[in-house]
Structure 1
Amino acid sequence: MSSMRLEIEKAMGLKFPERNGEVIVRFEESVEIPQPAEMLMRGLYRDPDRVRQGFKLLHQETGSMIEILMPKRSRLREWADSLPERPKEAELFLKETAEQLLIREQRLVQAERELVGQLQESGLEDVYPIPLAAFGVCTFRDPSVKLFLKPLGRFSELYEINPETLRQAVRVHFLFLLLLVAGADLDGQVYSRVGEDKVVHWIASIYTVRYLKSQSTELIHCYQEWVNAWGGKMPNQSMLNDRECEKTRAAMIFWRRQPNISWEECWRIINQLERPASTSSMVF
């Protein structure tokens, strides 16, 4: 983590606060399940107990059909080899089993139809958007981060992505986030704003994508799935070149020091220093 921290400090141009050579911010990874993650941990079913009961009922009805069909199959095989001695008894047997099968089939079809309806109502759309607090929280006043590993693991299961790769990508995002609100710039200036979660996560995402892009495409893929899950926005490719990153850093430093100026206004001011044709959108 220490080598990653140094790389992240270099990338953002800020430095974590230290005391006696030790970083004094907290970065914790927890196995607890926060309240915002409860729906995610539940999975893709609105009412899992009801769906489970539906499968149980369908299993029972299928078994009832088999209990009639198996003896009937044996009797039919027997009569195919040797005709029944009493045709009337065979006729009665066929009529009775036909009626029983019709009743069982109707119950089976009804149980199956209800279960299919329940499955159609279940899906990822019931989980989304996932609250960002389900994965991690960052406090500004006493800068610290807590990541929740179990919700991240559950998310990786749902999306069939590597859980360790996902955790690594999310760590990078929250390290950039923590540095943004806790770090000092080259002049020793610190973060002077209050809150503004949406903006800090947007800025963190720009630096995270740029950092992960130099690592692997798998990290980028996992990160993109995660950002989409909580309703974030990925920066476009034009924001990742060196020139745009320098402008981003200048706007970020200016924005951190000016609590009364919005991010959009800071970005507009920075772009006034360049030709209008060279500007790109940084609205999130």
Structure 2
Amino acid sequence: MTGGTVEMTGETLEMTGETLEMTGETLEMTDGILEVKDGISEMKDKILEYWDYRSSDYHTEYAKCMDEEMEIWKSLFYEILLTDKKIRAVEIGTGPGILAISLASMGHDVTGVDLSENMLEKAAENARKKGVDVSLVQGDAEEIPLCDGEYDFVLSKYLLWTLPQPDKFINECSRLLKDGGLMMIIDGLWFQNPDGTEKESSRNDRFNELYSGVKPNLPLAKNNTPERITSLAQSHGFEAVSWRFLEDYDAFLERNDPSGHSAGYIQPPHMILAKKISQT
């Protein structure tokens, strides 16, 4: 719009002297404020609504064996970090905070970031139960509200498939890391059968309602293979990329929730490790 005036009369949007044109965007009224939203913003609103909803029960089937799960992650961190020195780390999409808490319990300085404040409340509760300090920050994985080049280790679990713009997330990981810093991505194949066909329904009714128009626009919701993530990392300034299946964690999941494991996993979760290329 150039010139002119937008007037609100009751619930009616009126124009004085100009024509209002919207292309690929929508107008929404929130608390009396008119907002212009594009398709990405609308998708993220639905994504946030779903994960706020899921915060009440997400991963609770494993709550009784949190100590066992934490030992698995701590063993993995000891293996891949190869240092006894205190590091600065950030888990993006921390959810209930299990990985962040595991890392913090080893004496590291850890920040957990999540789009959902409800999820962050769960992470804070879990951290209190385990007696560890984790800084928790509300933020978008594609626009992380943390400073450049301050972290040794950036990690995420089951996040990448949820993102409308995974390229932006990888760029954000690179921005946060020091030169030579390590990125760890854990994900899996969530919406397909072993023969490659798509599952009719992989989640609950709320998922189907909110994600029906979102999932087709998520680049890594389908065929989220370790090879694809490896290629993505290499194309965004990372080297020494490797990946493997997390067999021990897969066994933990199957042992403690056999029906959920059978419904959700056609193969073990995969872990990709990549190092930020030094700029000097």
What TM-score do the two structures reach when normalised by structure 2?
0.25
Structure with the higher helix share, 1 or 2: 1
Choose 1 or 2 for highest CA Rg.
Answer: 1
Structure with the higher strand share, 1 or 2: 2
Higher relative contact order (CA 8 A, sep 6+): 1
